[in-house]
Structure 1
Amino acid sequence: MDGGGDDGVGDARDDASLTIGAFAARARLSAKALRLYDRLGLLVPARVDEVSGYRYYRAGQTEQARLVALLRQLDMPLARVAEVVHADGDRAAGLLDAYWSAVETRVAGQRTLAEYLRGRLSGRGSEVYEKFVVETVDVPERVVLSETRHTLADELSPWIGASLGRLEEAAGDCGGVTAAPFVVYHAEVSMESDGPAESCVPVADAAAARRWSEERGRTWQTRVRVEPARRLAYTRITKAQVAHPQILAAFEAVEEWIAARGLTVAGPCREVYFADWEAAGPEDPVCDVAFPVE
């Protein structure tokens, strides 16, 4: 426990043993922040008096303290700050680069979302929908290997890639893949709602798929089910449009098209991935956004 002397300025001449108040002044941080950084292991005092509990710092710790403060000005979470602070020079720089790249990606997405919302709020939403061509297609009954997960939006894309990869690999023991993989959204996936979402890969051999699921599918909670024949209303989008908010506009465009023609949505929406994602460029078609209709 810190006493009143813990917050004092102390003897600034004693650089080997600065009180928390003196060190806070040097580092341009508050004593409260230093206590928090100590608890989290970000910046541990040089020593703590066993009797009084006072924290003492070395003058040489000032640079690390200022580094922590600067990283926090980037809105870096404290756990990520700890990783950077405890890494060596090259690795620390790499961790910073990775964090900032993610920030720029997020901000770019938010900027696009703001522009999209501005159009909706100003009554120009129909202009956004007009660029999507909606058609229908009849798909037959299919046996699918599937994997279901509750996931928030920030974890969705990595999970889709990983789960479809696992299912496509398993399909090799089930007669092979017979149609494009797809992801079904049984409920909304956002930063507040976790679905669930279901990755599906159509396979040729139902009996082999069931055997595979019973023997090896438990690790990822893989199951086999029959996807009934359906008529889908869909629009085809590019790799760039798969990102938010463009994909939201695609879903809404299909819903608008369905309502305008007096049709009824007959099941959960889905994304059908028919192209090689890694090989595709930003303007290459990769995905159909679809709703079952009747």
Structure 2
Amino acid sequence: MLTISEFGRRTGLSHKALRLYDVSGLLPPAQVDPANGYRLYDEEQLERARRISVLRQLDMPLTTIAEVLAGSDEEGLIRLDRWWAAQEATTAARRATLQYLRDRFSRSGSTGLAPRPVLTRDVPETKIASIRSDTDQQNLIGIIVTATDEIRTYLQAAGATLPGESWVIYHGPVTPEAEATVEVCVPFQGLVDPSGPIAIRVEPAHHEAYCTITMDECAYPRIMLAYDLVDDFVRTAGSTITGPPREVYRANCHLMPRDQPAVDIAQPISRSAILEGKP
């Protein structure tokens, strides 16, 4: 058995950190001396402690560390890669936001979004697998990337056929100051049962207005300008909104050049006389 001081020396963890990991259930001591309350650790806990230390250096939250370390090493590797992909996507989005701000400072008269058409289309009834989460703007990208990968992995293991695209449906306004529910959706074909956070449902057929943007234009707040274009179109057309707005991500959009069309900003609407005959 190792004292907390010896265990901390061999793992690089402070007494404060070890007490925190004990309270959180992440790394409880093997024994607590009933006479003096001293924490004692087993040598077999050294590897887990060292992994926790390295993961914390990556700024991974304790709850995520618990998930990474909860199962086998193979499962932990999948969760680690999924989390890291979310971090990289968040960094790319922040970089695009920075560029947006630089553009605004250097060209104060521009809108920040090049003119583009808003079109309409019919969307057929579609079977989807989805995960709902409450999030604010800061954590949104990470949740989208993580949930999409989790759903795709589950569907592929179940033998479903995936067309490639994915959606994010916004059931409330997500802002830097306020959380709202988002639903990450992956369309599929086949017979699949729900599992854990993954729900299976049918998205009703609908008519929608949409415009297409690039991955760079997805960054907040530039993406809101695309939503404004669609909102203005719907208002001018005299249509009624019939469902929550959504973002439709094309297959492998994360691998596309960031200045290429990749995402549709879409709003389900009713048909109107003004729109009849238009695409």
- 2:222 is matched with which residue: 231, 246, 249? 246
Q: Determine the structure 2 residue equivalent to 1:153.
A: 137
Q: Determine the structure 2 residue equivalent to 1:228.
A: 204
Which blocks of at least 5 consecutive residues in structure 1 are unaligned? 1-39, 42-81, 85-101
Deviation of the 1:231 alpha carbon: 1.0
CA gap of 1:160–1:177, structure 2 versus 1, over 3 A, is same
| Identity, % of aligned positions | 27
Q: Determine the structure 2 residue equivalent to 1:96.
A: none
Residue identity opposite 1:275 in structure 2:
A
Residue identity opposite 1:226 in structure 2:
V
Q: Determine the structure 2 residue equivalent to 1:271.
A: 247
Find the structure with the greater CA-based Rg: 1
> Is residue 144 of structure 2 the alignment partner of residue 168 of structure 1?
no
Moved more, 166-175 or 260-269: 166-175
> Is residue 188 of structure 2 the alignment partner of residue 203 of structure 1?
yes
Write out per-residue CA displacement over residues 134-168 of structure 1, whole angstroms, 9 at most, x where no aligned residue: 11111100111000000111111111111111111
Deviation of the 1:277 alpha carbon: 3.0
How well do the aligned residues superpose, as a CA RMSD in angstroms?
Answer: 3.4
> Is the contact between residue 127 and residue 203 of structure 2 (CA under 8 Å) also seen in structure 1?
yes
Q: Determine the structure 2 residue equivalent to 1:34.
A: none
CA gap of 1:113–1:292, structure 2 versus 1, over 3 A, is farther
> Is the contact between residue 152 and residue 186 of structure 2 (CA under 8 Å) also seen in structure 1?
yes
Aligned residues: 188
> Is residue 160 of structure 2 the alignment partner of residue 183 of structure 1?
no
Deviation of the 1:112 alpha carbon: 2.7
> Is the contact between residue 132 and residue 250 of structure 1 (CA under 8 Å) also seen in structure 2?
no
Deviation of the 1:237 alpha carbon: 0.6
CA gap of 1:148–1:116, structure 2 versus 1, over 3 A, is farther
1:164 is paired with a residue of what secondary structure? helix
2:150 is paired with a residue of what secondary structure? helix
- 1:133 is matched with which residue: 103, 110, 117? 117
Q: Determine the structure 2 residue equivalent to 1:17.
A: none
> Is the contact between residue 118 and residue 211 of structure 2 (CA under 8 Å) also seen in structure 1?
yes
- 2:213 is matched with which residue: 237, 240, 246? 237
Deviation of the 1:195 alpha carbon: 1.2
Normalising by the residue count of structure 1, what TM-score does the alignment of the two structures yield?
Answer: 0.55
Larger RCO: Structure 1 or Structure 2 (Cα < 8 Å, ≥ 6 residues apart)? 2
Q: Determine the structure 2 residue equivalent to 1:112.
A: 100
> Is the contact between residue 149 and residue 196 of structure 1 (CA under 8 Å) also seen in structure 2?
yes
Which blocks of at least 5 consecutive residues in structure 2 are unaligned? 1-15, 18-55, 59-89, 271-279
Write out per-residue CA displacement over residues 171-192 of structure 1, whole angstroms, 9 at most, x where no aligned residue: 2215211462100000011122
> Is residue 266 of structure 2 the alignment partner of residue 290 of structure 1?
yes
1:278 is paired with a residue of what secondary structure? helix
Residue identity opposite 1:109 in structure 2:
T
Normalising by the residue count of structure 2, what TM-score does the alignment of the two structures yield?
Answer: 0.58
